[in-house]
Amino acid sequence: MPRKVGATAKQSDDEAQILALIHANRIAMWMGDYEAYAKCFVQAPYTTRWNASMHAGIFVRRGWEEISTRVKELWKVSRAFPNPVFAHETTVENVQTRVIGDMAWTTYTQRYPGIPEHHGNGLSPTCELRILERHEGEWRIAFLGFLDPDTSPRGAALLQLAADGSVLMQSPEATAALAAEDDLVIRGGKLHIRDSRTDQKLQAAIRWAASKNSTLIPERGALPIVLEAGEGLPTKVWWVLAESGSVFFSLGDKQRDARRLQAATVVYELSPAQEQVAALIVEGLALAEIAARMKITPNTARTHLDRVFEKTGVRTQSALVRVLLSTAAPF
């Protein structure tokens, strides 16, 4: 086949050079090769890096001096580097490149080996953006944007749901939790709670979360689903989450619950024993189980619980769970 000529051939050459630069930048980063890393960038005050991910949060680094200083420090303190697997086995897909003169921009997805996609199948895709300039015939990165679209925390027991309750994804942790859960069931591919009254609340919450993705910019939010229990019986709480345009059902996130309980302990001035009783109520233990866990009598456990009721202003365990888990820091 004859070689392309003219502008088309030039565009093809530019795209190949830019793709090679993308790979060179990633390899240098994960191998801790500063000389190779520096060659990938426009070393100017306007060089910029944007980051948005669950792991690292949202931040901006401005100027080559700041970026280069911080990347060298990262290599010193992080045990993640070097990483030959991430450097050489990561794949790049869906590359879209536009070149106008000595400026170009390219978007693509990048899959890192060994990182589960939404806790499920495949490899984790990150969304990447590069704005480039040509200097002395060579393409260099002037802007680097990194977005991890998976906002769910690692290790959480999560289901991703459609607006009708259909299960789109479930994490390995959720699969294990469902196997041990008598009150939840998946029928016809849809999530339900066996208790009909609570199931109505679940379906309404799912529709509410789905409605948060009706505009250009999705809204965030969370609703607790509390299964009422009898006196002395464990209260169960699950969460329906509207996050990044998706609907999630959380079967339990001990780290998030622990942070909220810490905040509630301060707000309601709970004693250490009261805090422990409250935490075990949230965990789903019955009062007799709490007494056994704490090695106290059931009467003493009841006394601690009554004090917690007094301080929080509620009189039932289900209401207590709602109050405790709705107390959180603003960030």
DSSP 136-177: TTEEEEEEEEEE----SPTT-EEEEE-TTSBEEEE-HHHHHH
Alpha-carbon distance 61 to 59, whole Å?
Answer: 7
Q: In this model, does residue 273 exceed pLDDT 60?
A: yes
Reply yes or no on whether the pLDDT at 123 is more than 70.
no
Q: Which of 2-6, 134-138, 283-287, 298-302 has the lowest mean pLDDT?
A: 2-6
pLDDT of residue 118: 44
Per residue in 199-239, pLDDT (tens digit) is 999 999 999 999 999 888 889 888 888 887 655 556 777 88
**Banded model confidence at residue 170, pLDDT cuts 50, 70, 90:** confident
C-alpha distances (whole Å) from 241 to each of 26, 123, 238, 247, 317 are: 34, 23, 10, 6, 22
Q: Is 230 left (phi over 0), alpha (psi -120 to 50) or beta?
A: beta
DSSP SS3 for 82: coil
Mean pLDDT estimate for the chain = 87
Going along the chain from its start, the domains and CATH numbers come out as 6-147 (3.10.450.50), 157-252 (3.30.450), 255-325 (1.10.10.10)
**From CA 254, how far away is CA 262, in angstroms rounded?**
12
pLDDT at residue 1, rounded to an integer: 38
Q: Which of 122, 38, 37 is nearest to 81 (CA)?
A: 37
Bridging pattern class, strands 184-187 and 103-116: unpaired
> In whole angstroms, what is the distance from residue 77 CA to residue 142 CA?
26
Task: Kindly tell me if the per-residue pLDDT of 148 is higher than 90.
Answer: no
pLDDT the model gives residue 30: 96
Structure token pair of residue 185:
């069931």
Contact 246, 160 (CB under 8 A): yes
Residue type, 77: V
What confidence score (pLDDT) does residue 187 get? 94
- In this predicted structure, which of 88-97, 158-167, 322-331 has the lowest mean pLDDT? 322-331
Whole-prediction pTM value? 0.64
- pLDDT band, residue 153 (cuts 50/70/90): low
Check whether 2 has a pLDDT greater than 60: no
pLDDT digits (tens, 9 = 90+) for 6-65: 557 677 899 999 999 999 999 999 999 999 999 999 999 999 999 988 777 789 999 999
Q: What pLDDT does residue 304 have?
A: 94
Name the token pair of 88.
């050489």
153 or 290, which is more confident? 290
Q: List alpha helices for the chain, DSSP H.
A: 6-31, 34-39, 64-77, 84-89, 172-179, 196-211, 254-267, 272-283, 287-294, 298-312, 317-325
